[in-house]
Amino acid sequence: MNIEIRELKKEDLEKYPIEEFLFKMIKESYDLDYVPEYHYDIKDLNKYYITPNKNNFFVALDADTDSVIGTCAIRGYDRKDQIKNRNYTIENTASIYRLFVEKRYRHNKIATKLVQKIEEFCKEKEYNEIYLHTQKGSYGALPFWLSQKYQIVDDTKDSMGTVHMEKPLKEDFLRLSSLKIDEKISSY
Q: How far apart are CA 5 and CA 30, in angstroms?
A: 25
What is the CATH number assigned to the segment(s) 3-186?
3.40.630.30
pLDDT digits (tens, 9 = 90+) for 83-101: 988 999 999 999 999 999 9
pLDDT digits (tens, 9 = 90+) for 32-84: 888 888 899 999 999 999 999 999 999 999 999 999 999 999 999 998 888 98
Domain parsing of the chain, residue ranges: 3-186
If one counts every other C-beta atom within 10 angstroms of the C-beta of residue 183, the result is 9
**Amino acid (1-letter code) at residue 158:** D
Enter the pTM of the model.
Answer: 0.87
* Burial profile 108-123: b = 16 or more Cβ within 10 angstroms, e = fewer: eebbebbbebbbebbe
